[in-house]
C-alpha cells in the first residue's frame, strides 16, 4: 500500500516536472519522461519544488499538485508552508473522497512534525475512515498515543492494525497493558496491577517484563511463593535477563528465610545456563571456603572469561596478604572495575543503542522489548 500511495502522490510531480523540462503540457508524457521527473524530485528537490510551483500557478486549484508540493515542503522541514497548502486543499469544495482522505493524511503528518498532536489525532482519525488510508493513518496514530501515554487508545489502535494488516502486535500490546499496570501500581492498586500484568502475559507469553513486574508486585505484598514463581519463569523466556532476575530471587529468599529455595534455583540455572557469569558468580557466593570458591571461579573463568568474574576472583584469599589485597592486585582490580564501568550495561538488539538503565522501550529507535542486559564476557 505504501508503494501505491507514493506513486499516487508523485504522479503529479512527474507530470509537473515533465512540463518544466520543456515538454508540451498538452501532450501525454512518455514513461521515460515521467521517470526523469521523478528522479529529479529525489536528486534535486529544489528544482522539483520550482517546477510544481509553476504548474500550480497555471492551475491553483489542482489538488494533487498542491498535496505533492506540501509533502515536499514537509520533507524539507518547511512545516508552515506544508500545513497551509494541505489546509487549502481541504477547504476546496466538492473534493473527491480519495483526494480528501489523502489531504487529511498529509495534513496529519504535517501536524505530527509540528508537534500538534491533538490536531494530528483528530485529522488522522478522519483519514482512517477511508479504506485506502485506514492502515496508514492508524500507523501514524500509534506513536502519537504512545507519546502522550494514552495506553488504552494505543491498545485499541494496535488491535485495529492487527486486523487490517494481518500481522501480530502482541509484543507492543503486552507492553501497553504493563504501562497501565504500572500506573495502577503507583496508585497502590496491586490487585488491578496484577490482573493487567497477567493479561499482558496471556497476550505475549515471551514478555519478560510481565514476569519481572509480577515478581516485584508480589514481593511488595509479601506474597513470596507467587513472587518466586514469577521470577522463576524469566530464564526460560530470555536467558539474557539472568543478571536481572537472580538478585531478585536472592532478595525474596532472604526476606522469606528460604535459603534452600535459592540453592535449588541456582542449581537449576547452572544445569541449563552454567556458563552465564550471572549464574556462577551467584553460586560462588554460596561457597563458604575461600580456596574452594577460588577453584570454582577459576574453572568457570577458563571456560568463559567474564569481567565481573575476574574482578571477583581477584578479591579472593589467594590474592590477599593477611586478609588485605596486595597493592599490585588491588591496582589491577581497580583498573578492571573502571573498565567495566565504561562498558555498556544494556544493549538494544534493534539499533545498537547502549543505555545505562533498562528501558522497555528503546529511547533511540522507539522499539518495544529490544533492550536487554549486555553480555559480560571478555
- Reported as a single tens digit per residue, the pLDDT across 120-145 is 999 999 999 999 999 999 999 999 99
- Residue pair 94/117 in contact (Cβ under 8 Å)? The answer is no
Q: What is the spatial distance between Cα 194 and Cα 199, in angstroms, rounded to a whole number?
A: 9
CB 252 within 8 A of CB 227: yes
* CA atoms of 88 and 82, how far apart (whole Å): 10
Lowest mean pLDDT of 107-111, 212-216, 319-323, 340-344, name the range.
319-323
Q: Where are the domains of the chain?
A: 2-164, 295-342, 344-378
Taking residues 177-193, report their average pLDDT. Answer: 97
Distance CA 25, CA 291 (A): 90
Give CA–CA dist 99/318, Å, rounded: 79
Residue 64 has pLDDT above 90, yes or no: no
Instruction: Report whether 307 contacts 343 (CB < 8 A).
Output: yes
Q: Structurally, what CATH architecture does the domain formed by 2-164 represent? A: Alpha Horseshoe (1.25)
Question: pLDDT-based confidence at 355, cuts 50/70/90?
Answer: very high
Q: What is the pLDDT of residue 230?
A: 98
Compute the average pLDDT of residues 228-243: 97
Please, which pLDDT band fits residue 109 given cuts at 50, 70 and 90?
very high
pTM for the structure as a whole: 0.79
Mean of the pLDDT values across residues 39-67? 63
Which tens digit of pLDDT belongs to each residue from 243-277?
Answer: 999 999 999 999 999 999 999 999 999 999 988 98
Higher-pLDDT residue of 298 and 229 is 229
d(CA 127, CA 106): 9
Confidence at 323, pLDDT banded by 50, 70, 90:
low
Which pLDDT score, from 0 to 100, does residue 242 have? Answer: 96
User: Residue 147 in contact with residue 116, Cβ under 8 Å?
Assistant: no
Task: List, in order, residues 6 or more apart from 188 with CB less than 8 Å away.
Answer: none
pLDDT digits (tens, 9 = 90+) for 160-171: 999 999 999 999
Confidence of residue 44 (pLDDT cuts 50, 70, 90): low
Alpha-carbon distance 348 to 354, whole Å? 6
- In the predicted model, what is the mean pLDDT of residues 199-227? 97
Query: Which residue is it, cell 507519546?
Result: 147
The average pLDDT across 216-231 equals 97
Percent of residues, the chain, with pLDDT higher than 70: 76
Which DSSP state fits 361? Answer: B
Return the minimum-mean-pLDDT range out of 59-73, 140-154, 255-269, 315-329: 315-329
Amino acid at each position: 500500500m505504501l508503494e501505491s500511495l507514493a506513486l499516487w502522490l508523485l504522479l503529479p510531480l512527474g507530470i509537473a516536472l515533465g512540463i518544466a523540462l520543456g515538454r508540451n503540457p498538452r501532450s501525454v508524457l512518455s514513461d521515460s519522461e515521467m521517470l526523469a521527473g521523478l528522479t529529479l524530485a529525489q536528486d534535486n528537490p529544489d528544482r522539483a519544488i520550482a517546477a510544481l510551483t509553476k504548474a500550480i500557478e497555471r492551475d491553483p486549484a489542482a489538488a494533487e499538485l498542491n498535496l505533492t508540493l506540501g509533502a515536499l515542503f514537509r520533507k524539507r522541514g518547511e512545516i508552515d508552508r506544508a500545513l497551509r497548502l494541505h489546509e487549502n486543499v481541504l477547504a476546496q469544495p466538492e473534493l473527491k473522497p480519495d483526494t480528501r482522505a489523502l489531504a487529511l493524511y498529509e495534513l496529519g503528518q504535517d501536524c505530527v512534525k509540528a508537534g500538534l498532536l491533538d490536531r494530528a489525532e483528530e485529522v488522522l482519525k478522519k483519514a482512517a475512515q477511508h479504506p485506502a488510508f485506514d492502515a496508514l493513518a492508524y500507523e501514524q496514530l500509534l506513536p502519537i498515543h504512545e507519546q502522550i501515554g494514552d495506553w488504552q487508545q494505543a491498545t485499541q489502535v494496535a488491535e485495529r492494525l492487527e486486523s487490517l494488516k494481518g500481522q501480530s502486535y502482541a509484543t507492543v500490546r503486552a507492553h501497553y497493558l504493563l504501562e497501565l499496570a504500572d500506573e495502577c501500581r503507583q496508585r497502590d492498586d496491586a490487585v488491578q496491577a496484577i490482573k493487567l500484568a497477567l493479561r499482558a502475559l496471556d497476550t505475549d507469553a515471551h514478555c519478560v517484563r510481565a514476569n519481572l513486574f509480577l515478581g516485584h508486585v508480589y514481593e511488595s505484598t509479601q506474597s513470596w511463593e507467587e513472587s518466586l514463581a514469577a521470577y522463576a519463569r524469566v530464564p526460560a523466556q530470555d536467558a539474557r535477563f539472568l543478571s536481572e532476575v537472580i538478585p531478585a530471587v536472592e532478595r525474596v529468599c532472604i526476606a522469606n528465610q528460604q535459603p534452600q529455595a535459592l540453592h535449588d534455583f541456582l542449581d537449576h540455572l547452572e544445569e541449563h545456563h552454567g556458563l552465564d557469569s550471572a549464574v556462577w558468580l551467584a553460586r560462588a557466593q554460596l561457597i563458604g571456603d575461600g580456596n574452594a570458591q577460588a577453584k570454582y571461579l577459576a574453572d568457570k573463568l577458563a571456560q568463559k572469561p567474564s569481567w565481573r568474574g575476574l574482578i571477583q576472583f581477584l578479591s579472593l584469599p589467594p590474592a590477599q596478604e593477611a586478609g588485605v589485597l596486595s597493592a599490585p592486585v588491588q591496582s589491577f582490580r581497580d583498573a578492571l572495575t573502571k573498565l567495566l564501568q565504561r562498558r555498556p550495561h544494556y544493549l538494544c538488539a534493534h539499533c545498537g543503542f547502549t543505555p545505562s538503565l533498562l528501558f522497555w522501550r528503546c529511547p533511540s529507535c522507539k522499539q518495544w522489548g529490544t533492550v536487554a542486559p549486555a553480555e559480560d564476557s571478555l
